Amino acid sequence: MCEERITTMNKAQFDAVCETAKRAAVMHTAADTLEWDERTGMPHKAGAYRAEQVAALRSEVHRIRTDSEYGDALAELEAGLDDLDPRSDTASTVRELHRDYERNRRLPADLVRTLALATVRGQQAWDAAKKANSFSQFREPLAEILKLKREQAACLQVDSDRTLYECLLEEYEPGGCEQQLRETFAQLREPLVALIAAIQQSDRQPDLSSVQGPYSLDSQRVLSRHVCEAIGFDFERGRLDETSHPFCTTLGPDDIRILTRFDKHWLASGLFGSLHEAGHGMYEQGLRADWFGLPPGSYASLGVHESQSRLWENQVGRSREFWQWLLPQAGQMLGEPLKSTDLDEIHHAVNAVRPSLIRVEADEATYNLHIIIRFDLECDLIEGRLQVDELPDAWNARYESDLGIRPTGDADGVLQDVHWGAGLIGYFPTYTLGNLVSAQLYESAQHQISDLDDQIAKGEFSALLEWLQNNVHRHGRCHDSDSLVRAVSGQGISHEPLVNYLKSKLENLYGI
């Protein structure tokens, strides 16, 4: 399986730990399949038993990944890696599997099972509460999840210098530092706030009728599938479905599920949601299938994963060149008013900047303000500075102070995201990290593919996808996010490329 060998003596040991890891991946993806079904078509009354099914599978995954013989073998193998390139497939496999083992073994089996039950039930409670526009229906499940996540963080806090929040962040962004995030977000926030203020004062505002439609949902479905296929999502290895909250999940090396949602009066919701999730899906399809379930066949971090979705959604999908290719086809598929819209109008419309309540439908300039709010609130929740009962008011106050708007209810406020109900605390910062990385990667791609803009204007996306596969996808977890970005762009993760990209585009569109 690997090109370089550790030694003849311990190759059998290496193969054995790989087989153990792959066996755990089979169980893990089986649980993911059940959760995908829950979010797409499971009968409502099946929820309680589904939680038991998922918890049983998650418990078995944990048992496999914390087996003492497996851990001992990994420790022995890691002690013999000195002669290997640390970024090689073999060294990365041993190092990252051992890292995962050390993290997993600190979590009691009872806690893993209880968390699995609570988060499946939490997603069900969140969905019902959102439909009822009632945070009170979600309060108790959320309080239980937060209590369990604090217990999880305490188990993982082997270094007293690491905050409880950082111990949870580690699962999504290895090595992530809460203080460093705060500093990066502050550096990003200042120029964004100034840019948004200048845009709001501009007399050159877009006509939004071309994205407001109305457009039939069936026509939008056809358009979204066409676009996903055109940019390179392989429908023989994946599918596009609908759900209440868009997401992407991997059920096997050749089974990538992407989900979006459509709105008759807002074209951007379905189209850009599909582009976004297709970006995630193409990253998963670009990973090396023969290493599935092992670090070289796994994504580097969620920040890197998000960079792939945001790059296709924004740098590509909101570019003038992209709409030069798509507009004639989209007009034929959807009809009026898009059919009579010109290129400049649609380009400005899909780049409209306006403070809004819904994160997944936010424009590029305001999006990161949504993330900063969530990051601050979940840090406060985990560290005990904010109580669950105080959360809706705290949420509403931050939206009013940061974005100048106030939610009209819980559904478009504190209940709009599924993440906390799913126990994904520490996940939100990776969205902004993804935005930063997407700008850096795309800037590098433009330098290395000299006619990239011309290719996109013709609907030719294969060169960009191949560039991403070679520079990002195929490396898997052999790099962490910062070393990967540094290898591709020549510098570590920075706020400057994103700010420069947004200012260049938006100042031109808004005449500022």
Q: What is the bridge-based pairing of β-strands 255-260 and 238-242?
A: parallel
Beta bridge mates, 248: 258
Active site residue 38: no
CB 189 within 8 A of CB 368: yes
* The residue count for the chain: 512
CA angle 336, 338, 342 (to 5 degrees): 130
CB 312 within 8 A of CB 231: yes
Q: Of residues 277, 306, 345, 364, which has the active-site annotation? A: 277
Classify each residue of 71-90 as buried b or exposed e, where b means 16 or more C-beta atoms within 10 Å of its C-beta.
bebbeebeeebeebeeebbb
Could you identify the residue written with the tokens 């609908």?
242
CB 407 within 8 A of CB 396: yes
For residue 238, the surrounding DSSP H or E stretch is: strand 238-242
Q: What is the bridge-based pairing of β-strands 247-252 and 238-242?
A: unpaired
Could you identify the residue written with the tokens 């099972």?
113
E-only strand ranges, 219-294: 238-242, 247-252, 255-260
Distance of CA 177 to CAs 105, 166, 174, 180, 312, Å?
22, 6, 9, 5, 27
- Active-site annotation, residues: 277
